[in-house]
Amino acid sequence: MFKERTRSTIVEAKPYTNRVGALLVIGSFVSIGVLLIVLSFLAFVPDLGLRLLWYGIIPLAPLIFFTVPNVWVNLCPLAIIQGFPRRMGMSGKRILQPKEQLLLMQGSWILLYLLVPLRHFVFNEMALVCLVTTLLLGVVAFASGLMFKGLGGWCSALCPIRPVEMAYGLFTKEMNRPELCAVCESCLIGCPRKHAGNFEAKRSFNAQFSYWVFSFPGFVLGYFLVSKDDGWLMVYGQILGLAAVSLLLFGALHRLIKWRWSLEAAVLTALSTYYVFIIPKIMEQWGLG
Ligand code: SF4
């Protein structure tokens, strides 16, 4: 399942020029600066902090995953924090065993499906909770960098954003690894970041989680069709119910057409559903409508 591809099927990633590498490192520092600004707003101007986070920064993420997912690794503050120990020569040595890796990756989907509906009740409204959660995740990411080799543990396995990054990154023609991975530490077996530009590597990575990917368009739609007034049971029931319907539909499609087409159809449906619903909300939040 996690077998490395043979040399003949690997399209090796292109190295960054020194200039681009330096720009990406600067981008990482800018990203940490933006994080500190958002955290300050969450602490002192909560409404603006929440608006910046959910209707300014987060909506950019799927677009980055879709176009340049490996650049995302340089911009994600948690990945940057996990990379600190490595840059300081204090990186951990542990590499997850294939079974542990698979378990954590399944866990990342479960975390995603538990946490996103919670936005309706907690994260969309409670700035202090967002602030504390972000700080705690920073500690987890740093500890993961101290414990695991490279980006293993948190960034490459358990992070709930990782499945979305992997799914939306299916189509990119990006040929570079993340800057942190320019020298690969083989922290993840079968890592698609390592084989940037290799569609087959990315497809087979997602294929391990195809049932989750098939359910994802319904999950995204479900999120936008409910509100916190519906109550906890309805919110989780409707979102997860639509995810189940989506799984059945794309699962059926999977039997009619090539599996990779059904996988791609599910990813594109989820991405377009997200932007169809989020763009009007962004306009409304910033008074542009
Ligand atoms: S490219 Fe290499 S160092 Fe980077 S996440 Fe993948 S396995 Fe780890």
In a domain, 44, yes or no: yes
CA–CA gap between residue 59 and residue 274 (Å, rounded): 9
Q: Are residues 186 and 224 in the same domain?
A: no
Return all residues near 64 (Cβ < 8 A) that are at least 6 apart: 71, 72, 75
Per the CB < 8 A criterion, the answer to whether 198 and 5 are in contact is yes
Q: How high is the pLDDT of residue 10?
A: 39
Domain final position from 184, 208, 232: 208
Q: Rounded to the nearest whole angstrom, what is the distance from the C-alpha of residue 136 to the centroid of ligand 1?
A: 24
pLDDT of 112 above 80: yes
In 3-state terms the chain splits into helix, strand, coil percentages (rounded to 5) of 75, 0, 25
Q: Rounded to the nearest whole angstrom, what is the distance from the C-alpha of residue 187 to the centroid of ligand 1?
A: 5
Q: Is the CB of 186 under 6 A from ligand 1?
A: yes
Q: How high is the pLDDT of residue 202?
A: 80
- Tens digit of each residue's pLDDT (9 = 90 or more) over 199-236: 787 877 878 888 999 999 999 999 999 999 999 999 99
Q: Are residues 39 and 174 in the same domain?
A: yes
Per the CB < 8 A criterion, the answer to whether 207 and 263 are in contact is yes
Q: Are residues 233 and 104 in the same domain?
A: no
Per the CB < 8 A criterion, the answer to whether 117 and 235 are in contact is yes
pLDDT of 149 above 70: yes
Domain final position from 155, 180, 208: 208
Q: Are residues 244 and 185 in the same domain?
A: no
Q: Rounded to the nearest whole angstrom, what is the distance from the C-alpha of residue 115 to the centroid of ligand 1?
A: 26
| End-to-end C-alpha distance for the chain, whole angstroms | 48
Percent of the chain with pLDDT over 70: 94
Q: Nearest C-alpha to atom 4 of ligand 1 is from which residue?
A: 181
Q: Nearest C-alpha to atom 2 of ligand 1 is from which residue?
A: 184
Residue type, 124: N
pLDDT of 11 above 50: no
Instruction: Name the residue of 76, 104, 193 whose CB sits within 8 Å of the most ligand 1 atoms, as the mutation to test its pocket.
Output: 193
Domain final position from 179, 208, 237: 208
Q: Is the CB of 191 under 6 A from ligand 1?
A: yes
Q: Are residues 150 and 213 in the same domain?
A: no
Q: Nearest C-alpha to atom 7 of ligand 1 is from which residue?
A: 186
Q: Are residues 65 and 131 in the same domain?
A: yes
Give the angle subtended at the CA of 164 by the CAs of 276 and 35, to the nearest 5°.
Answer: 90
Q: Give residue for tokens 């202090």.
A: 128
**Could you identify the atom of ligand 1 that is nearest to the CA of residue 183?**
3
Q: Are residues 86 and 224 in the same domain?
A: no
CA–CA gap between residue 180 and residue 103 (Å, rounded): 24
Instruction: Name the residue of 96, 101, 104, 184 whose CB sits within 8 Å of the most ligand 1 atoms, as the mutation to test its pocket.
Output: 184
Return all residues near 89 (Cβ < 8 A) that are at least 6 apart: none
Q: Rounded to the nearest whole angstrom, what is the distance from the C-alpha of residue 127 to the centroid of ligand 1?
A: 33
- Tens digit of each residue's pLDDT (9 = 90 or more) over 64-91: 999 998 889 989 999 999 999 988 888 8
**Could you identify the atom of ligand 1 that is nearest to the CA of residue 194?**
1
Name which of 52, 233, 230 is nearest 131 in CA terms: 52
**Could you identify the atom of ligand 1 that is nearest to the CA of residue 188?**
7
3-state secondary structure of 64: helix
Q: Are residues 107 and 124 in the same domain?
A: yes
Q: How high is the pLDDT of residue 12?
A: 54
φ/ψ of residue 14, rounded to 5: -80, 140
Residue type, 77: P
Number of separate domains in the chain: 2
In a domain, 180, yes or no: yes
Inter-CA distances, 181 with 39, 90, 169, 190, 276, Å: 28, 16, 17, 14, 34
Q: Are residues 256 and 176 in the same domain?
A: no
**Could you identify the atom of ligand 1 that is nearest to the CA of residue 181?**
4
In a domain, 221, yes or no: yes
In a domain, 20, yes or no: yes
Q: Are residues 88 and 202 in the same domain?
A: yes
In a domain, 151, yes or no: yes
pLDDT of 5 above 50: no
In a domain, 142, yes or no: yes
In DSSP notation, 133-146 reads HHHHHHHHHHHHHH
Instruction: Name the residue of 94, 177, 179, 189 whose CB sits within 8 Å of the most ligand 1 atoms, as the mutation to test its pocket.
Output: 177
Q: Are residues 221 and 280 in the same domain?
A: yes
Q: Is the CB of 182 under 6 A from ligand 1?
A: no
Q: How high is the pLDDT of residue 190?
A: 80
**Residue 56 DSSP class:** I
Q: Is the CB of 151 under 6 A from ligand 1?
A: yes
In a domain, 2, yes or no: no
Q: Which domain holds residue 281?
A: 209-289
What number is the average pLDDT over the span 164-184?
Answer: 86
In DSSP notation, 177-212 reads --GGGSS----STT-TTTTTT-HHHHHHHHHTTHHH
Per the CB < 8 A criterion, the answer to whether 172 and 69 are in contact is yes
Q: Nearest C-alpha to atom 8 of ligand 1 is from which residue?
A: 187
pLDDT of 150 above 80: yes
Q: Which ranges in 45-97 belong to alpha helices (H)? A: 46-52, 60-67, 69-75, 77-87
Dihedral sign, Cα of residue 164, residue 87, residue 26, residue 130: positive
Per the CB < 8 A criterion, the answer to whether 218 and 209 are in contact is no
- Tens digit of each residue's pLDDT (9 = 90 or more) over 33-62: 999 999 999 999 999 999 999 999 999 999
Q: How high is the pLDDT of residue 21?
A: 83
Q: Are residues 23 and 144 in the same domain?
A: yes
In a domain, 1, yes or no: no
